[in-house]
Amino acid sequence: MNEKIYNYNVFAKYNESRIDKFLQSHSDKTSRTKIQNLIREGFVKLNDKTIKEVSKKIKTNDKIRIIFPPPKETHIRPQKIPLNILYDDNDIVIINKPPGIVVHPGAGNHDRTLVNALLFHYNKKLSSIGGKLRPGIVHRIDKDTSGIIVVAKNDIAHNNLSKQFSSHTIKRTYEALVWGSLKPKSGKINERIGRNIKNRQLMSVRKNTGKVAITNYKTLEIFQNSNLPKISLIECKLETGRTHQIRVHMSFKGNPILGDKSYGKSKEKFKKIDEKVEKQIKNFNRQALHAKSLGFIHPKNNKEFFFEAKKPKDFETLVKTLKKASF
């Protein structure tokens, strides 16, 4: 397949628009993320000059050229990886993903992903909208986050579920262990989230330039004694679904998630801590975050569905240890 080239002249109504937004608005089937990647990779020219600034402002009569290179050959092999399937019908699959598994192949993760497992168990019975790298994948949770995921078996189901996610009607609940105790014990965090300026692979609260992000939380239990730093078990309900949303919001609030290597710089110190608890916390080699439940309207029969996923053994064991050590 050959590359595709598109040329545009900028009309007055687009004066001072961002170039990535302009190109996305003229490419219905291409996401803004894809457009931004093409800009960064040098496939966009503004007035015959290659640009790599995704937020570059354009002016009336500017000339823009975008090149869509031919797709790279990709082959994702099916792999016999066990799946914890909570529900399965002709349109959707509900899976309780264990920690340590990436949802789909990407840089540094070419196999042993959830997609590799899905291809083995369902072969060609998955939606094609995500392309060869993401068959059936409607949404993601982080590699080291455990919990519930819905997978689409056909394109109609995929489009329907995607609209529910984008309109924020999906009901998502998480449980997490965080350092300290939240004040107030229940509340709403409404802080915009965007890319971290210093590290583009991470997110951060960006009050003026970030996307709206809303997390409702409540404290379920607080663990503490004279030999134990204060740790809280909390429940979070998402009104939006930004990348790393709960992890960023908890860190911003001063209560980072236990075990979070990216956002979890805790001020808590291991002073006079119970040795067994200290060992278990230090050996808990991931963020203590679990996608507990998912509620949505079934894409075919329009019935309301609700699923819950049990916490993995390492999470449950840590909670039990904290309970025993607490007053």
Kindly report the backbone phi and psi dihedral angles of residue 221, in degrees, each rounded to the nearest multiple of 5, phi listed first. -165, 145
Does position 185 have pLDDT exceeding 80, yes or no? yes
Count the Cβ atoms, other than its own, within 10 Å of residue 245: 23
Domain ranges of the chain: 4-68, 85-166, 171-325
- The Cβ-side half-sphere exposure at 326, using a 13 Å CA radius, reads 15
Architecture per CATH, 4-68: Roll (3.10)
Q: Which listed residue (142, 144, 260, 314) is catalytic?
A: 142
The residues, any chain, with a CB within 8 Å of residue 111's CB and separated by 6 or more, are 76, 77, 79, 105
Task: Confirm whether 4-68 and 85-166 share one CATH topology.
Answer: no
Choice between 218 and 24, residue whose per-residue pLDDT is larger: 218
Q: What is the CATH number of domain 171-325?
A: 3.30.2350.10
Superfamily of domain 85-166: Pseudouridine synthase (3.30.2350.10)
Q: Tens of pLDDT along 66-121?
A: 999 886 656 789 999 999 999 999 999 999 999 999 999 876 778 899 999 999 99
Which single residue is written with the structure tokens 């409702």? 216
> Active-site residue 28, yes or no?
no
- The Cβ-side half-sphere exposure at 175, using a 13 Å CA radius, reads 17
Does position 306 have pLDDT exceeding 60, yes or no? yes
Q: Taking each helix axis from N to C terminus, what angle separates 275-283 and 313-325, rounded to the nearest 10 degrees?
A: 160
pTM to 2 decimals? 0.78
Q: Which residues does residue 18 pair with via DSSP β-bridges, in sequence order?
A: 57
